[in-house]
Amino acid sequence: KQEVTQIPAALSVPEGENLVLNCSFTDSAIYNLQWFRQDPGKGLTSLLLIQSSQREQTSGRLNASLDKSSGRSTLYIAASQPGDSATYLCAVGETSGSRLTFGEGTQLTVNP
Protein backbone atom coordinates (compact mmCIF):
# COMPACT_ATOMS: atom_id res chain seq x y z
CA LYS A 1 0.00 0.00 0.00
CA GLN A 2 1.41 3.35 -1.05
CA GLU A 3 2.22 5.81 1.71
CA VAL A 4 3.17 9.43 1.12
CA THR A 5 4.96 11.53 3.72
CA GLN A 6 5.66 15.25 3.61
CA ILE A 7 8.27 17.05 5.65
CA PRO A 8 8.11 19.52 7.29
CA ALA A 9 4.49 19.66 8.41
CA ALA A 10 4.75 23.43 8.76
CA LEU A 11 7.26 26.02 7.63
CA SER A 12 7.51 29.74 8.28
CA VAL A 13 9.99 31.85 6.30
CA PRO A 14 10.64 35.53 5.64
CA GLU A 15 9.71 36.95 2.28
CA GLY A 16 12.33 36.51 -0.42
CA GLU A 17 13.76 33.28 0.90
CA ASN A 18 14.21 30.22 -1.31
CA LEU A 19 12.72 27.07 0.19
CA VAL A 20 12.34 23.34 -0.38
CA LEU A 21 9.40 21.14 0.49
CA ASN A 22 9.96 17.39 0.68
CA CYS A 23 7.79 14.45 -0.27
CA SER A 24 8.60 10.76 0.03
CA PHE A 25 6.65 7.69 -1.09
CA THR A 26 7.06 4.03 -0.25
CA ASP A 27 6.25 2.33 -3.59
CA SER A 28 8.36 3.52 -6.52
CA ALA A 29 6.02 1.99 -9.13
CA ILE A 30 4.22 5.26 -9.74
CA TYR A 31 2.50 6.67 -12.80
CA ASN A 32 3.02 10.33 -11.97
CA LEU A 33 3.47 12.73 -9.09
CA GLN A 34 1.60 15.98 -8.63
CA TRP A 35 2.10 18.97 -6.39
CA PHE A 36 -0.99 20.91 -5.35
CA ARG A 37 -1.64 24.07 -3.45
CA GLN A 38 -4.61 24.44 -1.11
CA ASP A 39 -5.74 27.79 0.24
CA PRO A 40 -7.99 27.92 3.34
CA GLY A 41 -11.59 27.10 2.48
CA LYS A 42 -10.70 26.37 -1.13
CA GLY A 43 -10.11 23.38 -3.32
CA LEU A 44 -6.76 22.19 -4.58
CA THR A 45 -4.93 23.85 -7.44
CA SER A 46 -2.54 21.74 -9.46
CA LEU A 47 0.92 23.31 -9.58
CA LEU A 48 3.11 20.78 -11.32
CA LEU A 49 2.74 17.26 -12.66
CA ILE A 50 5.79 15.08 -13.22
CA GLN A 51 5.42 11.96 -15.31
CA SER A 52 7.18 8.83 -14.05
CA SER A 53 9.70 9.10 -16.89
CA GLN A 54 10.61 12.69 -16.06
CA ARG A 55 13.08 14.08 -13.55
CA GLU A 56 11.69 17.57 -13.06
CA GLN A 57 9.14 20.17 -14.08
CA THR A 58 9.30 23.93 -13.81
CA SER A 59 6.66 26.62 -13.73
CA GLY A 60 7.69 30.16 -12.96
CA ARG A 61 9.30 30.26 -9.53
CA LEU A 62 8.42 26.63 -8.87
CA ASN A 63 10.55 23.62 -9.67
CA ALA A 64 9.60 20.06 -8.80
CA SER A 65 12.00 17.13 -9.00
CA LEU A 66 11.35 13.41 -8.95
CA ASP A 67 13.69 10.58 -7.98
CA LYS A 68 11.64 7.42 -8.37
CA SER A 69 14.37 5.04 -7.26
CA SER A 70 14.71 6.73 -3.88
CA GLY A 71 10.98 7.49 -3.61
CA ARG A 72 11.43 11.23 -3.26
CA SER A 73 10.22 14.47 -4.73
CA THR A 74 11.02 18.05 -3.82
CA LEU A 75 9.22 21.29 -4.55
CA TYR A 76 11.55 24.26 -4.76
CA ILE A 77 10.05 27.74 -4.41
CA ALA A 78 12.33 30.61 -5.37
CA ALA A 79 12.08 34.11 -3.95
CA SER A 80 9.06 33.33 -1.80
CA GLN A 81 6.24 35.86 -1.48
CA PRO A 82 3.44 36.28 1.10
CA GLY A 83 1.01 35.15 -1.58
CA ASP A 84 2.73 31.76 -1.58
CA SER A 85 1.33 31.10 1.90
CA ALA A 86 -0.83 28.00 1.63
CA THR A 87 -0.76 24.26 2.25
CA TYR A 88 1.24 22.34 -0.33
CA LEU A 89 0.23 18.76 -1.03
CA CYS A 90 2.13 16.06 -2.79
CA ALA A 91 0.15 13.26 -4.46
CA VAL A 92 1.34 10.09 -6.13
CA GLY A 93 -0.64 8.65 -9.03
CA GLU A 94 -0.83 4.92 -9.64
CA THR A 95 -2.33 2.84 -12.47
CA SER A 96 -2.90 5.52 -15.11
CA GLY A 97 -2.99 8.24 -12.50
CA SER A 98 -6.62 7.67 -11.62
CA ARG A 99 -5.86 6.87 -8.02
CA LEU A 100 -3.96 9.57 -6.14
CA THR A 101 -2.45 8.98 -2.74
CA PHE A 102 -1.90 12.25 -0.91
CA GLY A 103 0.57 13.30 1.71
CA GLU A 104 -0.64 15.28 4.69
CA GLY A 105 0.75 18.52 3.35
CA THR A 106 3.17 21.23 4.38
CA GLN A 107 1.63 24.42 5.69
CA LEU A 108 3.77 27.28 4.42
CA THR A 109 3.70 30.81 5.83
CA VAL A 110 5.71 33.52 4.12
CA ASN A 111 6.06 36.57 6.34
CA PRO A 112 6.31 40.05 4.79
Partner 1 sequence: DTAVSQTPKYLVTQMGNDKSIKCEQNLGHDTMYWYKQDSKKFLKIMFSYNNKELIINETVPNRFSPKSPDKAHLNLHINSLELGDSAVYFCASSQEGDYSPLHFGNGTRLTVT
Is residue 106 part of the contact set for partner 1 (CB under 8 A)? no
Query: Of these, 24, 34, 65, 85, which contacts partner 1 (CB under 8 A)?
Result: 34
Angle, alpha carbons 59-64-65 (nearest 5°): 140
> How many Cβ atoms from other residues are within 10 Å of residue 85's Cβ?
18
Nearest to 51 by CA among 23, 31, 24, 71: 31
Stretch of residues binding partner 1 (CB under 8 A), selected from 14-22, 35-43, 60-68, 72-80: 35-43
Least Cβ distance, residue 22 to partner 1 (angstroms):
17
User: Residue 90: enclosing H or E segment and its boundaries?
Assistant: strand 86-94
Binding site for partner 1 (CB under 8 A): 32, 34, 36, 41-46, 49, 51, 87, 89, 91, 96-102, 104-105
